[in-house]
Structure 1
Amino acid sequence: MDDAPFTVQYCFPDNNSSCRKEVQTGPGNLLLYIFLSIVSVFTVILNLLVIISISHFKELHTPTNLLILSLAVADLLVGLIVMPVNIMQLIDSCWYLGKMACSIYPVIHFVSGSGSLLSLVFIAVDRYIAVCDPLHYAARITVGKTLFFIILGWSFCLFYVIIYLYFNEHLLQTQIITRCYGECVLIIKYSWVIVDIVLFFLAPCCLILALYSAIFIIARRQAKAVSAVRNRASQTNGTKFSSSSETKAAKTLGIVILVYLACWIPFYLSSLSVESLTSSSMVWTVFGWLVYLNSSVNPLIYAIFYPWFRASIKSIVTCRIFESSSSQFNLFPENF
């Protein structure tokens, strides 16, 4: 042993077709694993708080909050499954979860990402109608319709991912490689990267930006109109409250979308500069984790800007949620 400067390690020593293990050691790597693990845990906890809050408190059962719930579910999948699996592969490059998980994991990975973007598209449409046509909003956007579109959207994302991963391998040149026992590498060719950027990034993001541009133009016009009416009559408090509430909600969700774009744009730009991407490449790892961090930031934005989220967290942490009448709690301060 003393004469050997390097000992080859295998993912599964008892298997003759096992892959070699590439262990990443050192204090720097250890600190990185600890940090990423903490990020994963906090992502799960924060998004669970969002899901429990909106699901439990009846006052939060609104179309907009259902869309936020859909976004939180996508972010929860990232923190619960995607992040831990990536941390596992960073540690020693081995895949210990078997062939079935190797086939299922890419589906979860891509569905969570596409589900996030689709939820943001729905949120943008919801805010556009709320701000631009407030008188007909309640009739046009209902809880039932919102649930239907959420289910339809997630079903489309699942169908889309399965088609390109497993049924169009030769057309899209996307494949999962397992050259030895303990390997699970997804290779995405350049041709598919272009298709994916257009269908699941550029088109939805252009639609979102167009809707939010229209929202803020109309919100500014409404603010001027309300100010003019207020100067003529003092009985406009109700109108002012409604207008400012919808505008504030649009601004908060606009921040969520800007953060999303800031996290995803580097990944897509870098993907254009390489001929193919693999899940084991450094580009995929670095910019992939920037994308994952977006799932941690979203609930923090809610905590900063939404009083109802802070109030619901307080009820959950203090265990008041277990009271028989807790679902009827008032989570909105009078000054909101």
Structure 2
Amino acid sequence: MSNGGVTNTDNQTIQYCFPNNNLSCTKSVRPEAEYIIVYIFIAVTSVFTVFLNLLVIISISHFKQLHTPTNVLIFSLAVADLITGLILMPVQGMKLIEPCWYFGEIFCLLFPFILYVVLTASLGNMIIISVDRFIAVNDPLRYPIRVNINRAVVSIVVNWLFSFMYNFYLLYEFLLYPERNHTCIGECILSLKLENVIIDSIVCLVAPCCLIIPLYVKICIVANYQAKHFNSVTDKKAKSEKKATRTLGIVVLVYLLCWMPYYLTSLSLGHDENDSLIINVMDWIVCMNSGMNPLIYAMFYPWFRLSAKYTLTLKIFQPSSAYFNLFPEEK
């Protein structure tokens, strides 16, 4: 086995994940061009996601005008997206092309846990953002009283704690019995009981959809009513809230569209090699959503484009740059 492979009866070379280990898994060999293309795509997408979400985090942290409850929620979402681009996307991308697991048993346990904690926290952020937008549009006069930065921070902390505890419960047996995660060296398989998959589908897909969709339907009805009946004095504020709601509504919609294929495949497919590949692709689609959110902000939020310009041109290092006006149209 020292030569890294053996030859079967069909004169095909079977390679091993770890040639010097008798317990090593075998692996199929892909064309070199396929490896190069996939790794370039993974690297570009991951760097792109990290870069854009860093811009969001720096902008909201630095500029005083952006210290609002809604932007605190966006900040939390950007942190989750940053972790996704920095850790999850590279590893999940490698699982698409590499038949072997080279990161050891400990990370085999930690990676699915980190993946699900971050993705569940992102979903929780989406729900909180939807509630925030509902209050802002449905009860604009009392919004500053009902929603403030402290309450937004508390909701974020509760969201992350819930995500941690929920996924620990979901992956408890996976974390407790690591020997079930592989049958040979170089394999890392996440196996969940069917009842856990069903519970996860209800908690992370059915319940959020049943909450978010009615909220945004109500938001659209109220926003259209306000657009018709508000006078010119209050119309400016109403338009601002409507624009923010529309942008964040797109973020939520794109997120749900990325999640649905994952849960549909998880419930319908088995665990053979082809099905595992499809599920890995669905995981990758969910992770790629983390790079879409800043693009949506760039398309619909002038403040993000302006703050990104100040950041990239290093103007944020100027004295009093934290007080730059990011809403010149409101002067």
Normalising by structure 2, we get a TM-score of 0.90
Give the C-alpha shift of residue 296 in structure 1.
Answer: 1.1
The residue number in structure 2 matching 1:184 is 188
Shift of 1:305: 0.3
In the alignment, the residues of structure 2 paired with residue 323 and residue 47 of structure 1 have an alpha-carbon distance, to the nearest angstrom, of 22
**What does residue 73 of structure 1 align with?**
79
Q: Distance in 1 between matches of 2:330 and 2:180?
A: 54
SS of 2:101's equivalent in the other structure is coil
Matching residue of 1:282: 277
The reply to whether residue 297 of structure 1 matches residue 274 of structure 2 is no
**SS in structure 1 at match of 2:191:** strand
- After superposition, give the CA deviation of every residue in 1:93-120 in whole Å (9 maximum; x if it has no partner): 2222222111111111001111111000
> For residue 162 of structure 1, what is the amino acid of its counterpart?
F
User: Does residue 30 of structure 2 align to residue 35 of structure 1?
Assistant: no
Amino acid at match of 1:142: N
Give the corresponding residue for 2:207. Answer: 203
Unaligned runs of 5+ in 2: none
Using the TM superposition, name which of 39-48 and 5-14 deviates more. 5-14
Alignment check: 8 A CA contact 2:17 2:27 kept: yes
What corresponds to 2:249 in structure 1?
254
How far apart in 2 are the matches of 1:59 and 1:326? 11
Q: 1:223 aligns with which of 212, 221, 227?
A: 227
How far off its partner does 1:334 sit?
A: 0.9
Matches within 5 A, 1:43-82: 43-82=49-88
Aligned residues: CA RMSD: 2.5
Partner of 2:20: 14
Aligned equivalents of 2:284 and 2:276: distance in 1? Answer: 12
Aligned to 1:273: 268
Paired residue secondary structure (1:287): helix
TM-score of the pair, normalised by structure 1: 0.89
Kept in 2, the 8 Å contact 1:256–1:298? The answer is yes
Distance 1:279 1:323, change over 3 A: farther
CA spacing shift, 1:260–1:279, aligned 2, 3 Å: farther
Change in 2 beyond 3 A, CA 1:99/1:315: same
2:304 and 2:55 map into 1 onto residues whose CA distance is 9
The whole-number CA distance in structure 1 between the counterparts of 2:274 and 2:139 is: 45
Q: Which amino acid aligns with 2:138?
A: C
**Equivalence map 1:117-196=2 (5 Å):** 117-166=123-172, 177-196=181-200
Instruction: Note if contact 1:53-1:309 (Cα within 8 Å) is conserved in structure 2.
Output: yes
One-letter amino acid matched to 2:67 = H
- In the TM superposition, residue 318 of structure 1 has moved relative to its aligned partner by 0.3
Distance 1:281 1:159 in 2: 26
Q: Give the Å deviation of 1:225.
A: 0.9
- Give CA-to-partner distance per residue, 1:256-287, whole Å, 9 cap, x none: 11111221112222222224588981221222
Deviation at 1:83, TM superposition (A): 1.1
* Higher deviation after alignment, 126-135 or 9-18: 9-18
8 Å CA contact retained: 1:118, 1:153: yes
SS at match of 2:16: coil
Instruction: Deviation per CA, 1:221-250: give whole Å up to 9, x if none.
Output: 111111xx4xxxxxx33x111010001111
Cα distance in 2, alignment partners of residues 63 and 175 from structure 1: 45
Unaligned runs of 5+ in 1: 230-235
Pick the aligned partner of 2:217 from 189, 201, 213. Answer: 213
